[in-house]
Amino acid sequence: MEKTQPWWKTAVVYQIYPRSFQDSNGDGIGDIPGIISRLDYLQFLGIQAIWLCPVYQSPNTDNGYDISNYEAILSDFGTMKDMEKLIRLAKQKGIRIIMDLVLNHTSDQHHWFVEAQKSKENPYRDYYVWADPINNHAPNQLGSIFGGRAWKYDRITNQYYLHLFSEQQPDLNWENQKMRTKIYQMINFWIQKGVGGFRLDVIDLIGKKPLKMITGNGPKLHNYLKEMNRSVFAEKDLMTVGEAGSATVEDAKKYSGPDRNELSMVFQFEHLAIDQQLGKEKWDLAPLNLEKLKQVFVKWQVELAGSGWNSLFWNNHDQPRIVSRWGNDKQYRVVSAKMLAILLHMMQGTPYIYQGEEIGMTNRPITDISEADDIETINMYQQRLNEGYSKQAILASINAKGRDNARTPIQWNDELNAGFTTGKPWLAVNQNYQVINIAAELANENSIFYTYQKLIKLRKSNPILSQGNFKLLEDTKTEVFAYYRQLENAKWLVVCNFSDQINEFNLTDDVEKVIISDYSDLSLAEMGKNISLQLRPYEAFVVAVKA
Ligand code: NOJ
What is residue 442's three-state secondary structure? helix
State whether 101 and 116 are in the same domain.
no
Residue 424 C-beta-side C-alpha neighbours within 13 Å: 0
Query: What's the confidence (pLDDT) of residue 4?
Result: 80
Measured from the CA of 375, which atom of ligand 1 is nearest? Answer: 7
Question: 273 pLDDT exceeds 90?
Answer: yes
User: Per-residue confidence at 530, pLDDT binned at 50, 70, 90?
Assistant: confident
Name the pLDDT band for 1 (thresholds 50, 70, 90).
Answer: low
Is the CB of residue 202 below 6 angstroms from any atom belonging to ligand 1? yes
Domain CATH number, residue 155: 3.90.400.10
The tally of domains found in the chain comes to 3
Q: Is residue 168 part of a domain?
A: no
The CATH number covering residue 519 comes to: 2.60.40.1180
Which atom of ligand 1 has the smallest separation from the CA of 62? Answer: 7
Mean pLDDT of the 52-57 span: 98
156 and 202 housed in the same domain: no
**CB 270 less than 6 A from any atom of ligand 1:** no
Which stretches does DSSP call E strand in 32-81? 49-52, 56-57, 69-73
Residue whose C-alpha is closest to residue 511's, from 496, 534, 535, 494: 494
Tens digit of each residue's pLDDT (9 = 90 or more) over 167-219: 999 999 999 999 999 999 999 999 999 999 999 999 999 999 999 999 999 99
Query: Could you tell me if the CB of 35 is within 6 A of ligand 1?
Result: no
**Pair (236, 94) in one structural domain:** yes
**In-domain check, residue 170:** no
Q: Is the CB of 102 under 6 A from ligand 1?
A: yes
The verdict on the CB of residue 201 being under 6 Å from ligand 1 is yes
CA 58 to ligand 1 centroid distance, Å: 14
Closest residue by Cα to atom 11, ligand 1, is 65
Q: What is the rounded CA–CA span in Å between residue 42 and residue 92?
A: 13
With a 6 Å cutoff on the Cβ, whether 31 touches ligand 1 is: no
Same domain, 85 and 202: yes
Between CA 372 and CA 382, with CA 378 as vertex, the angle to 5 degrees is 135
Distance of CA 467 to the CA centre of its chain: 23
Same domain, 309 and 371: yes
| 246 domain residue, yes or no | yes
User: Residues 34, 38, 39, 41: what is their CA dihedral angle, to the nearest 10 degrees?
Assistant: -170
Section 146-162 average pLDDT: 96
Give the chain's radius of gyration (CA, Å).
23
Q: Of all atoms in ligand 1, which is nearest to the CA of residue 66?
A: 11
Q: Give the structural domain span for 405.
A: 7-105+177-452
Are 50 and 194 part of one and the same domain?
yes
Q: How many CB atoms lie within 10 A of CB 4?
A: 6
Does 215 share its domain with 154?
A: no
Tell me, yes or no, whether 216 and 258 share the same domain.
yes
Q: Which residues contact 243 (CB under 8 A, 6 or more apart)?
A: 199, 200, 201, 202, 203, 204, 266, 267
Contact criterion met (CB below 8 Å) for 505 and 485: no
Kindly give the distance from the C-alpha atom of residue 212 to the centroid of ligand 1, in angstroms, as a whole number.
23
Q: Look at residue 393 in the predicted model and tell me its pLDDT.
A: 98
| Same domain, yes or no: 492 and 347 | no
Q: Which atom, in ligand 1's list, is nearest to the CA of 102?
A: 11
Contact, 427 vs 408, CB < 8 A?
Answer: yes
319 Cα: distance to centroid of ligand 1 (angstroms): 11
Q: Where are the alpha helices (DSSP H) in 106-218?
A: 111-116, 177-192
pLDDT at 526: 74
Is 459 domain-assigned? no
Last residue of a domain, one of 119, 137, 162: 162
| Whether the CB of 165 sits within 6 Å of ligand 1 | yes
Residues composing the chain: 547
Task: Give the tens place of pLDDT for each residue, 287-331.
Answer: 999 999 999 999 999 999 999 999 999 999 999 999 999 999 999
The runs of H, that is alpha helices, within 388-462 are 391-401, 438-443, 448-461
Q: How far is the CA of 223 from the centre of ligand 1 (A)?
A: 23
> Does residue 1 belong to any structural domain of this protein?
no
What confidence tens digit (pLDDT) does each residue in 114-145 have?
A: 999 999 999 999 999 999 999 999 999 999 99
| Best residue among 51, 106, 201 to mutate for probing ligand 1, ranked by most atoms within 8 Å of CB | 201
pLDDT digit string, tens, across residues 222-245? 999 999 999 999 999 999 999 999
What angle in degrees, to the nearest 10, is found between the helix axes of 221-228 and 249-256?
A: 30
Q: Whose CA is nearest to atom 10 of ligand 1?
A: 65
Indicate whether 464 belongs to any domain. Answer: no
DSSP string over 294-333: HHHHHHHHHHHTTT--BEE-S--TTS--HHHHTS-SSTTH
Which of 421, 452, 483 marks a domain boundary? 452
Nearest ligand 1 atom to the CA of 243 is 1
Write out the catalytic residue numbers.
201, 243
- Is the model's pLDDT at 246 over the cut of 90? no
Q: What is the pLDDT of residue 523?
A: 75
Q: Which of 151, 156, 163 is closest to 120 using CA atoms?
A: 156
Q: State the Cα–Cα distance between residues 482 and 409, nearest whole angstrom.
A: 34
Q: Is 62 in the pocket of ligand 1 (CB under 6 A)?
A: yes
Residues 56-95: tens digit of each pLDDT: 999 999 999 999 999 999 999 999 999 999 999 999 999 9
Q: Is the dihedral of CA 130, 132, 137, 140 positive or negative?
A: negative
Predicted confidence band at 426 (pLDDT cuts at 50, 70, 90)? very high
pLDDT for 43 beyond 90: yes
The SS3 of residue 129 is coil
Cα–ligand 1 centroid distance for 66 (angstroms): 9
Residue 275 is predicted with a pLDDT of 97
- The widest CA-to-CA distance across the chain, in whole angstroms, is 78
Q: 442 with 498, same domain?
A: no
| Assigned domain for 169 exists | no
- d(CA 345, ligand 1 centre) in Å: 25
**First and final CA of the chain: distance in angstroms?**
16
CA of 140 to the centre of ligand 1 (A): 23
Residue 425 domain flag: yes
If you measure from the C-alpha of residue 270 to the centroid of ligand 1, how many angstroms do you get, rounded to a whole number? 17
Q: Is 51 in the pocket of ligand 1 (CB under 6 A)?
A: no
Q: Are residues 531 and 392 in the same domain?
A: no
Atom of ligand 1 nearest to the CA of 376: 7
Q: Rounded CA gap, 483 and 472, in Å?
A: 4
Q: Are residues 129 and 193 in the same domain?
A: no
Question: Ligand 1, from 15, 19, 62, 68: best to mutate by most atoms within 8 Å of Cβ?
Answer: 62
Q: Specify the pLDDT at position 2.
A: 56
**Predicted confidence band at 524 (pLDDT cuts at 50, 70, 90)?**
confident
Query: In this structure, which residue's CA is closest to atom 2 in ligand 1?
Result: 201
Say yes or no to pLDDT of 403 above 80: yes
Residue 52 has pLDDT above 70, yes or no: yes
Distance 385 CA to ligand 1 centre (A): 24
- Indicate which CATH number applies to the domain containing 62: 3.20.20.80
Nearest to 382 by CA among 144, 143, 147, 61: 147
- Cα separation of 259 and 416, whole Å? 52
